Chains A and B, each alone.
Chain A
Amino acid sequence: MAESETSNIREPLPAPAKERRFSAQAIAELEEIASHYPERKAACLPALWIAQREYEGYLPPPAIQEVADRLGLSYAEVEGVATFYTMYNLRKRGRHHLEVCTCLTCAVKGAYEVVHRLEKELGIHVGQTTADGEFTLSEAECLDFCGAATVMQVGDKYFTQLTPENVKQVIDQLRNSADYTPTKLADSLVKLLIPGSSETGGGSFAPKDLVNPAGPML
């Protein structure tokens, strides 16, 4: 039955389809992380990171359901956590999520000009994704590297001292890069919690192929 657009009454949402996407490795990681805390519930944030990696960089309802089931929590509880933190994506992002800091220092140092240049360059507004699914553009609250304003986070990397002139250089490099994606970011955040992961070379720590236009990245 079609609903009137102004109606506040809607059918109850169907329960999310049961889906299991955690790989054997992901389950092992989850169990390792859960063993760090006296309560299993504390692994909720890490488990959501694992889910964000396994579900292609965002958390559709089945991902939240899977986390809830694996931790013995309710769907509502996990969804409550997932919606609280800004780094959990509830909708799909572009292959590179550009988050430009426009907080105090960055704002006075020209962050809005950088944002507007990016909007022009990509043909989208803040909050949108390009048609080819390459880039999502967002404003971010303070990324806390104010000395290097303007700062932009892409995946697990910060780009610093950006200006309207040099920001295109970053975009061009990102187009050809398989790294700095939401999935890679989630992977880093999971690996960081696993003891010994620094020895096995976990995470894409060293900047391999990207240069910061304004000089070395700190």
Chain B
Amino acid sequence: MPILNLLYENRDVQNIENLDVYEAHGGYQGLRRAVTLERQAVIDEIKTSGLRGRGGAGFPTWIKWNGLPKNFDKPHYIICNADEGEPGTYKDRELLLKLPHLLVEGMIVAGYACCGTAGYIYIRGEYVEPAWQIRKAIDQAYKQGYLGKNILGIEGFNFDLYVHMGAGSYECGEESALMSSLMGERGNPRLKFPHAPLPVIEGVWKSPTLVNNVETYCAATWIAKNSGAEYAKYGTERSKGSKIISVSGHVAKPANYEIELGTPLMELLKIAGGITGGKLKAVIPGGSSVQIRTAEQCEKINMDYESCSANGTLLGSGGFMAFNDKTDIVVLMRRTAEFYMHESCGKCTPCREGTRWIYKVLDRITSGAGRQGDIELLLDICSQIDGRSYCALGDAAAWPIVGAIKAFREEFEYWITHKRSPIGEDAVPPVPVVVNPLLTLTPA
């Protein structure tokens, strides 16, 4: 079955965000089962499940969990990355809003398995409504004895969970920038392994730190309840289990769909009601950071980590955007470049300068002043950002542009030669009318 509601099993149950309803539907059974096991056995369950990080990178979850020191010498921090910001992705929003206890339970399980002392849920500042559900869930869990001191009556199992609200920054979804932000600094990324210790050894406040995405913790809850072997029954050989895909764009039924990994892309598109307003032109399968694919290329893609990368794109965070044949890819890429220009934190030069240059060149092309050689110029700029920035934001700014030039080069050439859109008058998105370029940015 392409649709596989593991995490979403109880999504549509009335009032599932309340603890009593959640418990009536098997809630906190995962935690109860986990605490009967040794800490290492819980991590082994995660290993057996084959769960990979759902935030975008797809890193095996158990390696992170296993990496934290197995003692209580220092405080261990369990952090949830709920700073969802990837254009096209809104899966975490729904999980926070409708299934807050699934996340809270997953974090307590992680707290148990990794000797955690405190947890923080870093939620993006815009998500006020979802955050209230989390606040409510935490308050209820404290009352019921799932959080606090001697959880479930187990001597010495103490775990506190706090909410931390961001303040508007895409960059803070990056692991090390998130840690900077949590410690009250600007959201700049830090040096990474091997130039600095891994977060699981030295993360926030120089203590071992586990950072996972919302969906990853929710999946951990499912695994704790139903066992890792059960989870590994689903998916492909190397991409196990289910993945929530946020479908948006020109589709009839945009929504979050939880699918079995390995589902063909075209089948997902069919589930989402198919393309509206024309024929399928292109798909971005994993959020704005990944490469756009043409309709023809989409035929071959399955929604799992391996198939996506074999076809020149990535599964990413599951922000699936489909576009019909009225879409002007060059203008779309101009908007993508604008996003990364705005969100670059400014710490390292390739990304800070490069994202601006990509935007400027694309803006020149779409304002009808493109020059011969601009495509090569774009590729050159991208090659100088990719792999040369502090964090993956630089790569994420370069990949979609390179991908779009590879897939739709003739449209870039058309813009440069004819100084107008190859689609014609009703192309979307329209080239924005900029009255005063200084005014289009949010006034600080």
Contacts and interface: CB of A to CB of B under 8 A. Distances in A.
Given A104-B332, A108-B327, A198 B136 contact: yes
Given A45-B166, A192-B165, A195-B139, A105 B97 contact: no
Interface in B233-253: 246-250
Interface in A124-152: 125-128, 136, 138-149
B187 interface: yes
Contacts of B168: 85-88
A162 interface: no
Contact of B248 (A111, A116, A143, A147): A147
A49 to B, nearest CB: 7
A21 interface: no
Contact of B86 (A48, A107, A142, A203): A142
Nearest to B160: A36
The winner among B90, B288, B433 for most chain A CB atoms within 10 A is: B90
A30 interface: no
A198 B438 CA distance: 41
A123 to B, nearest CB: 13
Contact of B429 (A84, A107, A127, A146): A107
Contact of B90 (A42, A86, A113, A144): A144
Interface string A21-56: 000000000000000111101111110110000000
A129 to B, nearest CB: 9
B167 A49 contact: yes
Given A42-B184, A44-B184, A139-B442, A105 B249 contact: yes
Contacts of A146: 87-90, 246, 248-249, 254, 319, 321
Contacts of A197: 135, 139
Given A105-B87, A116-B433, A141-B170, A147 B254 contact: yes
Contact of A128 (B284, B342, B439): B439
14 contacts: A42-B184, A43-B184, A44-B185, A84-B186, A99-B442, A103-B335, A104-B335, A111-B429, A143-B126, A148-B254, A195-B142, A196-B139, A198-B139, A205-B132
Q: Which 9 A-B pairs have the closest CB atoms?
A: A44-B184, A85-B167, A127-B439, A87-B168, A86-B168, A146-B248, A107-B429, A147-B254, A156-B128
Interface of B: 75, 84-90, 92-93, 97, 124-129, 131-132, 135-136, 138-139, 142, 160, 162-170, 181-187, 205, 246-250, 254-256, 284, 288, 319, 321, 323, 327, 332, 335-336, 339, 342-343, 345, 428-430, 432-433, 435-436, 438-444
